[in-house]
Chains A and B, each alone.
Chain A
Amino acid sequence: MTTQTSAPQTPSTPSAGTPTGLIGIPPRIGRALATGGGILTVISTFLAWTWTAAFPGDLTVYGYPGGLQVLVLIGGALTTLFGLASYGVKGLRWLVPAGADSAIKLAALAAFATAWYTIIAISTKLGGVVNLEPGGWIVAIATLATLLGALSLPFNRPEPDPIDPEDTGWEQFRHNARHTVSVVKAALATGTTTPARKLPAYAEILIIVAALAIGLTVFTYGIGTEYDELFVGFLITAGFGFAAIAKTGLVGRISAITAKHRNVTMIGAFVAAAAFPFTQSDDRYATIGVYILIFATVALGLNIVVGLAGLLDLGYVAFLGVGAYTAAMVSGSPSSPFDIQLPFWASALLGGAVAMVFGVIIGAPTLRLRGDYLAIVTLGFGEIFRIAVLNLDGTSGPDITNGSNGISSIPNLNILGFDFGQEHSIAGFTIARFANYFLLMLVITLVVVVVFRRSSDSRIGRAWIAIREDETAALAMGINGFRVKLIAFALGATLAGLAGTVQAHVTYTVTPEQYQFAHVVPPNSAFLLAAVVLGGMGTISGPLVGAALLYLIPAKLQFLGNYQLFAFGLALVLLMRFRPEGLIPNRRRQLEFHEDAEAPTVLSKAGV
């Protein structure tokens, strides 16, 4: 992803062997400039950037950074830290196990992009650069200087291939462009990671806890951004900042530690997620949280079908619908044809079971197909579900689902006297309706995560992967392909149905429109698949991250309006071009997509 960033290009005078920077400033001055610029950036965020509070976030206060200034502050602080670490300052060297230079460049870019985005946003929103206070000018110049300094840091330039004189102009242009790209890549290349010091287990667990706490903070900040500008700034800072930290080798080190303590990481992640509602003062963002969680859980269920067994299911949301409708019908809703109210455990089990039955019914005839045919048939079945539900309204068919009105006024859940519709006070924190459901949904997510993990690391999981890799060979090894695929399909359906039983209660109403193939609001089949592909097929964290991004970005960027789907499509195309294995790739997948990449000889435990 980082390679798309347009760094200023200099006319390349490649003096092979001697490392030079992208910009012709002497490296020593550049390093000083980057570090000093970072400090100046941090200071400038304490100044006023504009004179009026008309720009959201109140950037008029001296001595107290607000809104976007905080993000620039983080970018500047990261640059300063990495800069100091590159000087070898004691106590900071652990920050950069794989070299600081690439990280300085990206951190400087983060500060620069966020600061200049803010300045430009202020100028356009308030009408002209006159609205900037001196602080605004200072931060603009400071971040620019930082970036220039960072870009002058030396790196090993790749040797350009000689140009074939017989090439046409277009081919020469492409040749040069390719070389430029490889130069930028080299400028941002990660160094070799120095071997990690052996840490005692408790220290490693503390590191995991710290990493999770940072993750929770970042996520909570992102979900709580109150206006478009702040969210865009957040995306810029978070994106470049994460890339910078990845370049230092810290991410790799932490993921190595988490791989070692998988159970601790999983429990820690769920504790961190459960802490989310307690960080919120009102229910507004818990709503987003619970919808993200539903979306993510269903995406994770789909990941069993798509990521592990390799069955492209384009009608997956139908199973969510089956679960939701089942739960709605036995919830005691007045518009349900059945006048029964089952306790939650019973309706959850029933929802999962009915979804499983539908999974088997739909899977049995379709799973004999392979590849594209399967995708088309599942797409068809997904739509059949929606239209069938629409027609079971008493006029076109028997009155079961109440047609397009759906089943409404689904009562809130009440588990062991705990009313999910009421506010509760737990240890001084107020937990309102959506926060209650958030915690319940988290339990369902945990179930799905455990199912995913356990099934993938077993005889049946190996059979799924074998089928995905080479179906003929898998059959010749004695795997009953149809049966194994049907199990994957039914298991995926069950998990979606389980999530649906909670969803019905969260949304009050279930209607057929919620379960389309493509729709503006997730979850729908297209977005589910996109979340899996975006996040990374075959991993647990991939679909969770993918779903969170896919839900948050449209929800937060209201100004995109009608261009939402366009932007989404564009982003997906770019991602597939530059990182087809997803944001959090499974090792296996990464190898599949990058045939030429040097594969490690040893594959560590697959599936993060």
Chain B
Amino acid sequence: MTTDTTIKDDAPGSAAPGETVLDARGVTMRFGGLTAVRNVNLTVNSGEIVGLIGPNGAGKTTFFNCLTGLYIPTEGEVRYKGNVLPPKSFKVTAAGIARTFQNIRLFANMTVLENVLVGRHTRTKEGLWSALLRGPGFHKAEAASRERAMELLEFVGLASKAEHLARNLPYGEQRKLEIARALASEPGLLLLDEPTAGMNPQETRATEELVFAIRDKGIAVLVIEHDMRFIFNLCDRVAVLVQGEKLVEGDSATVQGDERVIAAYLGEPFEDSPGDEEIAEVEAAEAKADTTTDAAPGKENDR
């Protein structure tokens, strides 16, 4: 977990602190009649870690896909450093937004190093002719790519496994490799989709350290996660998405204390919910019932 790797000055990752990196305005995504994401605004500033939480099916991943060009938002626009994002996912990556996937999508039959080298694709230019003719430029670029890739592997702690097949890595290291591969495209913004899913507490902590280290390199991070402790430890700001709409946004304390968030996660009383009177009535009835049903203990457990 060495953090001494330095970003090159001309890299797209180096943005002035406080500058808005990502600016999503009124993003709406409809699939036929279903509105998965409705009018969501979100900004991410450079040097910031922003969390995106919400119950299952809240539209987090859909929103992510809108940000990365996999989906084109039905309404609204996404700007990266002031420029509207192109509608193709490879152009988005070239612009400077890299992502990982919720279900790991490594190139399983390539080696760890090759995976990272694929991530370098947008930052290298060597085409077919250069590969066929093998001029000095080709060898130089290959060597530089390899060096950079090894640096990144060093950064996530996988350097010793560079020649291993990606599929043979344990789960936690596959996650790390996915992050390294995303970093290889020298992004200004990294989108992590549930980076700790399926990890044990130690691995989660290690991931936390890794995300901090990435932030320290000047890369803004937007992270989806279900692990609340992870999110609230990590993020400067947390946005809560419920049923496609942004419910609340703020720092950890604000979000943690917000009743609506708790309601969204634990279920919210519906419209004609029982008032206090009814509740008291029910309680009274239950108290009465308890005495009568004493004869059949264990009935409670059967429910």
A-to-B contact residues, CB < 8 Å? 450-451, 454-455, 457-463, 465-466, 469-470, 472-481, 487, 491, 588-589, 591-592, 599-603
Contact = CB atoms under 8 A, between A and B. Distances in A.
Contacts of A491: 128
Interface in B88-133: 88-90, 93-94, 98-99, 101, 105-111, 114, 117-122, 124, 126-128, 130-132
Given A473-B101, A478-B185, A602-B164, A460 B128 contact: yes
Contacts of A475: 88-90
Contact of A458 (B68, B126, B182): B126
Contacts of A458: 126, 130-131, 138, 142
B93 A477 contact: yes
Interface residues of B, number: 44
Contacts, number: 119
A602 B163 contact: yes
A469 B109 contact: yes
Most buried by B among A459, A472, A602: A459
Contact of B118 (A457, A463, A487): A463
A466 B185 CA distance: 15
Given A459-B131, A477-B181, A478-B185, A603 B126 contact: no
Given A459-B126, A602-B164, A473 B105 contact: yes
B165 interface: yes
A476 B109 contact: no
Contact of A454 (B105, B108, B110, B134): B134
A461 B89 CA distance: 20
B122 A478 contact: yes
Nearest to A474: B118
Contact of B131 (A460, A469, A603): A460
Contacts of B132: 450-451, 454-455
B114 A462 contact: yes
Contacts of B181: 477
B165 A599 contact: yes
B168 interface: yes
B56 to A, nearest CB: 22
A360 B71 CA distance: 28
A71 B88 CA distance: 62
Nearest to B109: A588
Interface in B140-163: 141-142, 145, 163
Contacts of B182: 477
B128 A455 contact: yes
Contacts of B130: 458
B206 interface: no
Contact of A469 (B99, B110, B111, B168): B110
A601 B70 contact: no
Contacts of B118: 462-463, 466, 474, 477, 479
Nearest to B68: A476
B284 to A, nearest CB: 57
Given A473-B101, A477-B181, A478-B93, A588 B128 contact: no
Nearest to A589: B109
A601 B90 contact: no
B106 A603 contact: no
Contact of A487 (B88, B126, B128, B167): B128
Contacts of B142: 458-459
Q: Choose among B109, B126, B138 the residue with the greatest number of A CB atoms under 10 Å from its CB.
A: B109
A460 B145 CA distance: 13
Contacts of A481: 90
Contacts of B185: 477-478
A454 B119 CA distance: 20
A592 B134 CA distance: 30
Given A462-B118, A601-B165, A476 B128 contact: no
Nearest to A602: B163
A455 B127 CA distance: 9
Contact of A478 (B94, B105, B141, B145): B94
A603 B111 contact: yes
A-B pairs with lowest CB-CB distance, top 8: A478-B122, A458-B131, A478-B93, A473-B105, A469-B107, A588-B109, A466-B118, A475-B89
Given A469-B108, A475-B90, A459 B124 contact: yes
Nearest to B94: A478
Contacts of B99: 476
